[in-house]
Chain A
């Protein structure tokens, strides 16, 4: 099993450009998440999807959109990138509530720089 995979690994954008970060998991998990990691701030939740067909805002959703394409895939889109979105982005997945498994599994991350 590959676990959680993310593409691309690195990306440089100019202000105003758009891009989509891709995430896929092969663990048959119901819930998927997007976080950003900034120095000294830990990880902050951008959006999450509790199950296929649903998405909800997290702590820092402004400037982002998401799509839960199917059970495996959860993409994050930046419509008009800003330098404040320079960060490392992590995708994660977990089982649904009530299944007895609570931990999240993380992908390797995408390092995004917006100039």
Chain B
């Protein structure tokens, strides 16, 4: 079975400060890992993915995430938050050989001006 945990329902950060949104996962094999963002009343938009190779992956809008196999984590980071980054963020995992994604429960990011 595959599962994802996002331990924080909400993260608050001031504009210009760095942000981290946490994600840990559990899979039986090697994972494919993803971050998606959802703005109000919209579908999910793909941010970045880890498939293989470099543990630090860079995505859209200045976001990056670090794959840590020993800690089974894939935390999302941005060095300088913008008010426009305020949204709901989902981590997702897929075991290699499986088709379906398993999503975390989501973390709401609030960036204050």
Contact = CB atoms under 8 A, between A and B. Distances in A.
A106 B43 contact: yes
Nearest to A31: B99
A58 B51 contact: no
Contacts of A106: 36, 43-45
Interface string B89-113: 0100010010111111110000000
A54 B102 CA distance: 20
Contacts of B100: 33, 45, 48, 58-59
Contacts of B49: 102-103
- Interface size band for A: 20 to 34
Contacts of A2: none
B6 to A, nearest CB: 8
Contact of A43 (B41, B46, B103): B103
Interface residues of B, number: 24
Contacts of B42: 108-109
Contacts of B90: 42-43
B26 to A, nearest CB: 15
A82 interface: no
Contacts of A104: 46, 101
Interface string A30-73: 01010100001111110010100000101100000000000000
B46 A42 contact: no
B109 to A, nearest CB: 15
A94 to B, nearest CB: 8
- Ranked nearest first, the 3 interchain pairs of A and B with the lowest CB-CB distance are A42-B103, A106-B43, A106-B44
